[in-house]
């Protein structure tokens, strides 16, 4: 519960700060956007419950930064930021139920077209119905009441007036528990949207458009992270994942960060599986040599490249990495990609996961998406900065763990090119 409250605070705090930093004096306008969505959820597993049309009612509370003259807003061509609060009925009240979602978002112009928008966000959802092996065995999509949610939509503005913009949209919603309990098939929904953007009737006072100098500076950063995940249905207790990471890179024009570095992770589940002499590491079995050095075989080492948009106190980061060393993922794959339930004591006739091309890709590629809160505004290019963050980590799109982290950033070599 403490981790949940901390994460909720992390999700909501940046937008509270943005709303203070980008008030009317900065040229931003408050925007309220009621939204109705209709669509269907894909089957998460065989025998997934039948369902009728999915319906969503959403209120989007945000700020339009088109006339915000802070540098990040100007360089990003006036995006919108805010929080969505929504209710969803999934068309089957007994086996899938309904959910309430709180989701911070950011919205950009698409393809430099004023009428086309792309919205993306990540947040939390509460489901009133979840998987139960006895009373609700066919819904293997949602296993926790509280799960992570991800949303990406494209909108087209087809009718506008001074204070109203009517929009139609198409997009995708994903719900998952971040691999904290199995089964975790996740719920994927494809939806159409109808919304009306309502702006305050009193326009903000215009300010002269500012021209910003080009700039660039280097940085180094260190972070440490903590999470919990599960190993399999038979090992369904959450245990720790510990991370240390370092990176070097550059920040261009104070709003886009591009860097690369390394990560080191230790998986408690992998370590315990080895030292407890479970089935696949017993003498004569495929991974019996892991017992020679359990710590080494329970670790993960890799390299990554990362990109991040810096919005004053707030950052949106995407990362892709290559695993140089993750040997115990082979045990993970054997257990989870074979029989639908592989017991702790694996029988000789068990069907286990095969090391095919799908395995090779997921074993090699790691991905990471999340948000950061910087304690000092990045617009002020501080020499030293610290941040708190939450990220979803995955094996090429397959959830691995959700991570809370703390990081330190040191800035040097600031260069500014004066516009002539």
pLDDT of 239 > 70? The answer is yes
pLDDT digits (tens, 9 = 90+) for 33-52: 999 999 999 998 889 999 99
What pLDDT sits at residue 15? Answer: 47
The separation between CA 377 and the C-alpha centre of its own chain, rounded to angstroms, equals 22
pLDDT of 7 > 80? The answer is no
The separation between CA 207 and the C-alpha centre of its own chain, rounded to angstroms, equals 36
pLDDT band of 10, cuts 50, 70, 90: very low
Q: What is the mean pLDDT of residues 124-135?
A: 94
Count CB atoms within 10 A of the CB of residue 395.
21
Structure tokens at 218: 């280097």
What pLDDT sits at residue 256? Answer: 93
Q: What is the mean pLDDT of the chain?
A: 89
Ramachandran assignment for 91, one of left (phi > 0), alpha (psi -120 to 50 degrees), beta (any other): left
Say which residue the tokens 């996961």 belong to.
Answer: 353
Q: What is the mean pLDDT of residues 153-167?
A: 90
- In this structure, of 3-17, 124-138, 394-408, the range with the lowest mean pLDDT score is 3-17
H or E segment and range at residue 221: strand 214-229
Q: pTM score, two decimals?
A: 0.85
pLDDT of 289 > 50? The answer is yes
pLDDT band of 419, cuts 50, 70, 90: low
pLDDT of 237 > 50? The answer is yes
Which phi and psi (to 5°) does residue 224 adopt? Answer: -130, 140
- In this structure, of 27-31, 126-130, 278-282, the range with the lowest mean pLDDT score is 27-31
Cα separation, 106 vs 152, whole angstroms: 10
pLDDT digits (tens, 9 = 90+) for 379-407: 899 999 999 999 999 998 788 999 999 99
- Domains of the chain by range and CATH? 2-199 (2.40.160.20), 214-417 (2.40.160.20)
Nearest to 73, CA basis, from 118, 114, 26: 26
Which phi and psi (to 5°) does residue 288 adopt? Answer: -65, -25
pLDDT of 55 > 80? The answer is yes
pLDDT of 322 > 90? The answer is yes
CA angle, 60 as apex, 59 and 64 as ends, to 5°? 150
CA distances from 362 to 19, 180, 333 (A): 39, 19, 10
What pLDDT sits at residue 3? Answer: 44
Q: Packing angle between helix 268-275 and helix 329-336, nearest 10 degrees? A: 80
């Amino acid at each position: 519960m403490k981790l949940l409250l901390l994460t909720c605070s992390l999700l909501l705090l940046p937008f509270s700060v943005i709303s203070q930093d980008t008030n009317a004096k900065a040229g931003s306008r408050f925007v309220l956007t009621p939204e109705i969505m209709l669509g269907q959820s894909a089957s998460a597993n065989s025998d997934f419950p039948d369902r009728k049309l999915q319906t969503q009612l959403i209120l989007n509370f945000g700020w339009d930064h088109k006339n915000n003259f802070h540098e990040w807003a100007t360089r990003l061509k006036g995006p919108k930021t805010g929080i969505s609060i929504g209710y969803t009925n999934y068309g089957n009240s007994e086996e899938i139920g309904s959910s309430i979602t709180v989701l911070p978002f950011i919205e950009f112009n698409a393809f430099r077209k004023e009428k086309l928008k792309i919205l993306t966000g990540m947040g939390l959802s509460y489901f009133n119905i979840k998987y139960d092996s006895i009373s609700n065995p066919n819904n293997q999509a949602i296993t926790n009441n509280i799960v992570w949610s991800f949303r990406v939509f494209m909108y087209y503005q087809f009718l506008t007036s001074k204070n109203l913009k009517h929009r139609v949209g198409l997009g995708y919603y994903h719900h998952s528990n971040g691999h904290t309990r199995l089964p975790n098939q996740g719920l994927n929904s494809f939806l159409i949207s109808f919304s009306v953007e309502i702006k305050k009737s009193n326009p903000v006072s215009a300010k002269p458009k500012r021209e910003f100098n080009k700039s660039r500076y280097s940085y180094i950063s260190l972070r440490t992270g903590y999470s919990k995940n599960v190993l399999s249905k038979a090992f369904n207790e959450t245990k720790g994942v510990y991370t240390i990471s370092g990176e070097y890179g550059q920040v261009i024009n104070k709003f886009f960060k591009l860097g690369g570095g390394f990560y080191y992770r230790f998986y408690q589940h992998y370590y315990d599986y080895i030292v407890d002499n479970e089935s696949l590491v017993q003498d004569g079995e495929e991974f019996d040599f892991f017992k020679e050095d359990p710590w080494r075989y329970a670790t993960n080492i890799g390299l990554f490249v990362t990109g991040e948009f810096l919005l004053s106190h707030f950052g949106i980061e995407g990362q892709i990495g290559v695993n140089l060393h993750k040997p115990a993922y082979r045990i993970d794959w054997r257990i989870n990609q074979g029989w639908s339930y592989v017991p702790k004591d694996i029988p000789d006739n068990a069907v286990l996961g095969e090391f095919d091309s799908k395995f090779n890709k997921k074993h090699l590629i790691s991905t990471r998406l999340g948000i950061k809160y910087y304690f000092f505004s990045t617009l002020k290019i501080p020499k030293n900065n610290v941040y708190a963050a939450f990220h979803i980590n995955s094996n090429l799109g397959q959830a691995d763990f959700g991570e809370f982290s703390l990081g330190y950033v040191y800035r040097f070599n600031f260069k500014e090119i004066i516009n002539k």
